[in-house]
A and B are shown apart, each in its own frame.
Chain A
Amino acid sequence: MHIFANPKRFLSLATWLTPMCLVIGLVMAGGALAYGLLYAPADRLMGETVRILYIHVPAAWLGMGGWTTIAVASIVELVWRHPLATIAARAAAVPGAVFTAICLITGSIWGRPTWGTWWVWDGRLTSMLILLFLYFGYIALAGAVNREGASSRIPAIFGIVGAINIPIINRSVVWWNSLHQPPSITLGKSAIDPAFLWPLLIAAVGFSFIFGGVVLARMRMILADIQTEARLRRKALAA
């Protein structure tokens, strides 16, 4: 892991990895969504609205995956002082928040024809909404720390503490009575028919590549800003 601690080495890798992840992700996700919209069968109970799940489910996974990335990078930052861990955590916040918002909005759109309501304050929906607010808090905190020059440990601790919400989201449909269905896909098991499962998995892999590409792009952006600022500061001191 420490091999990539060198920003120069990271940049040489990220330069070709960023567009590659984005292109693969857009092709896979686009193909899976087109298949889901045009060719996948309608569900016996959900009807045509089952197609919404090809966006909603990957967005939910990546919303949770984004915060898991923040938590892991924060631990690496606090324990090993990895120079890129802080940057990785901050870079994962915006795509994580976007996917959480997409999950909540598409879930609400799916809920209206399926449950008869746009929103219910049950465990799954509420814990997912809390995740979105945690992202907003993290983005604001990281921005403030950056502006004020405070310790980067503050957002790192917030990232680790906030991770307690991830198992709560995951188990919410088991712990509490909910309109939301129990988990359909667990490790090695699926209750979903292969006709729906394959486009869903391809969409999930495609959106994951997009997530990875966006994180890399945002890491490059943050790194470039840091390097620009350092160079301008050195020049100002030398002048």
Chain B
Amino acid sequence: MREALDQWHFVAAAYAVGIIGTLGMVGWSWISMRRAEKRREKARRK
């Protein structure tokens, strides 16, 4: 007997992986950049 697969579940899972992965990478890179630039400014003022 063939199992019934709802294709929309697979579409939703793939979109979740793509969107969370991309936004996570953008957010992480942006925050790391801002923190590194703040550290540089702090080191300049010292």
Contact = CB atoms under 8 A, between A and B. Distances in A.
B40 A113 contact: no
B25 A95 contact: yes
B11 A214 contact: no
A113 B37 CA distance: 46
Given A113-B7, A224-B39, A228-B43, A22 B30 contact: yes
Contacts of A227: 40, 43
A65 B13 CA distance: 25
Contact of B37 (A59, A94, A220): A220
Which interface class (under 10, 10 to 19, 20 to 34, 35 or more) fits B? 20 to 34
Nearest to B36: A224
B1 interface: no
Contact of B22 (A29, A47, A225): A29
B17 to A, nearest CB: 5
Interface of A: 18, 22, 26, 29, 33, 37, 47-49, 51-52, 55-56, 59, 94-95, 98, 101-102, 105-106, 109-110, 112-113, 207, 210, 213-214, 217-218, 220-222, 224-225, 227-228, 231-232, 235
Interface of B: 5, 7-8, 10-11, 13-15, 17-19, 21-22, 25-26, 29-30, 32-33, 36-37, 39-40, 43-44, 46
